Amino acid sequence: MSTPRNVPLRRALYVGTFIHCKTLQELDICENGVIGVDEHGKIAFLERDAENVDLVTAAHGWGDAHIVRTSSSQFFFPGFIDTHIHASQYPNAGIFGQSTLLDWLNTYTFPLESSLANVNTARVVYSRCISRTLSHGTTTAAYYATNHVDSTNLLADICLDAGQRAFVGRCCMDSLSPDFYKDISADAAIADTKSTIDHIKSIDPTYGLISPILTPRFAPSCTPPLLHALGQLHRSTDLPIQTHISENLGEVQLVRKLFPESTSYAQVYDMYGLLTSKMILAHAIHLSTSERDLIKERDAKISHCPASNSALTSGGAKVRWLLDSGITVGLGTDVSGGYSPSMLEAVRQASLVSRHVAMLDGDAAKLSIEEVLYLGTRGGAKVVGLEDRIGGFEVGKEWDAQLVGLALVPEAKAAQHEGALCAESFKLPSGEGPVDIFGWESWNEKVAKWVYNGDDRNTLSVWVKGRLVHQRS
């Protein structure tokens, strides 16, 4: 259930517990809060310790506002920002066998992506992908489509219709790709990319919700003329860019062979004017120190994709090492190298992968719950250049949020007072989600339980720019 786009927004008051990331290390937990969201979907005011909601409503003159309240086991949390997802690969989520990147592309990925030349196929795939990511609390996504203009434009239409904030990229690939799925020339790739930019401009002229994003697939699938032309297009449009970097050792070797004049993979993108503050680099596992420093110097951003990096046995990205250098990092599901469209799963895997990295590099590599949640929200907002608009709950930001509900075990309280309970009362209620709360947990502990055990059953409602875009029935 969601609110259609043509229905004007009403002012709304969100009442109860709000949790968001204050810093990389700290959650801000606000019980008894009230957030007022105006008819443009922006946070107009935020009151802490509001014992009496009526007084708040009266003080702001918001008596007509719609009210949404949390119960004692629920909280509002910022929507997740998926900084790297291939919407076109969604039907393959979970299918990768024993493959690694380069054979995975040929065996699983190119055949599927090429099938989206058919707009009807694309409609089914993209509609389902967007419904599913919204149901997992993804309010913003940086999407790769395919190289087909019509179906890429359709992805933008569907995102706008569903109300999901999105960056939509037509995938550029004029080299080392199969004949059945390849741009015929650099000029054709640029012309088609411009068609998608024009289309998105026509459906969302201010890029208020949907923005085009330049998408060279990765250096091995782009000729120098295409990379050069994309660099020029970036300079003339100032549009963001997304690509892959240093995901797999075979890929790194291939880049060395294809671009012998470059000193590194990162330098290939730099040489063509693509390594800028608007570039999102996915994976970044096998970077040298000088590449890391170059990325930092250019203020390019990194999308860490832990589930995919494990699934395709690509490697363990050294996120602490990246963060310590001052690079901005967000998280990506990387469907379908990543097996799940859930950003909560990406958050969880970022924590677990950091523990594997710590087993090799030392304890400092471990990421805390606060840190992985930061990467999935505020970090992601910075990666996509929207840190002034989304990622946390502050006045002036847009209401991109999810209502998270945990299952409060009713018998836990009763047991303290009444002793033994009959076995009947321990039946699991249906539809409450897998995170059980016994009533003694602090909010930090409840959040940790959600991160390690939660799924989409815990995401009860989702809003983007104030509009309800998903509600669990």
Ligand X SMILES: O=c1[nH]c(=O)c2nc[nH]c2[nH]1
Residues that bind ligand X (CB under 6 A): 86, 101, 105, 109, 217-218, 244, 247, 308, 334, 337
Q: Which residue, among 117, 111, 209, has the nearest Cα to 154 in the 3D structure? A: 117
CA distance linking residue 42 with residue 394, whole number of Å: 9
Smallest distance from ligand X to CB 101, Å: 6
Give the Cβ contact number of residue 167 at 10 Å: 27
Smallest distance from ligand X to CB 105, Å: 6
Extract the tokens encoding 112: 């599927």
Give the residue with the Cβ less far from ligand X, 219 or 372. 219
CA distance linking residue 446 with residue 15, whole number of Å: 19
Give the residue with the Cβ less far from ligand X, 247 or 345. 247
Smallest distance from ligand X to CB 234, Å: 19
The CB-nearest residue to ligand X is 337
Residue 114: φ, ψ to 5°? -65, -25
Smallest distance from ligand X to CB 73, Å: 37
Give the residue with the Cβ less far from ligand X, 29 or 102. 102
Query: In Å, what is the CA distance from 236 to each residue of 25, 26, 173, 204, 232?
Result: 38, 39, 21, 19, 6
Smallest distance from ligand X to CB 362, Å: 28
Extract the tokens encoding 80: 């997740």
Smallest distance from ligand X to CB 339, Å: 12
Give the residue with the Cβ less far from ligand X, 242 or 402. 242
Handedness of CA 274, 282, 213, 111 (dihedral sign): positive
DSSP β-bridge partners for residue 398: 42
Question: Which residues 6+ apart lie within 8 Å of 88 measured at CB?
Answer: 112, 113, 116, 122, 125, 126, 144, 145, 146, 151, 171
Smallest distance from ligand X to CB 215, Å: 10
Give the residue with the Cβ less far from ligand X, 180 or 438. 180
Smallest distance from ligand X to CB 280, Å: 13
23: exposed, middle or buried (C-beta count within 10 Å: 0-12, 13-18, 19+)?
Answer: exposed
Torsion angle in degrees (nearest 10) through CA of 22, 335, 137, 156: 110
Cis peptide leading into residue 135 (ω within 30°): no
3-state secondary structure of 26: coil
3-state secondary structure of 244: strand
Smallest distance from ligand X to CB 454, Å: 25
Give the residue with the Cβ less far from ligand X, 43 or 285. 285
Smallest distance from ligand X to CB 108, Å: 10
Query: In Å, what is the CA distance from 69 to each residue of 59, 320, 360, 396?
Result: 19, 37, 45, 21
Residue type, 297: E
Q: Which helix (H) or strand (E) holds 439?
A: none
Give the residue with the Cβ less far from ligand X, 75 or 272. 272
Give the residue with the Cβ less far from ligand X, 105 or 322. 105
> Do 347 and 372 touch, CB atoms closer than 8 A?
yes
Give the residue with the Cβ less far from ligand X, 57 or 308. 308
Give the residue with the Cβ less far from ligand X, 20 or 286. 286
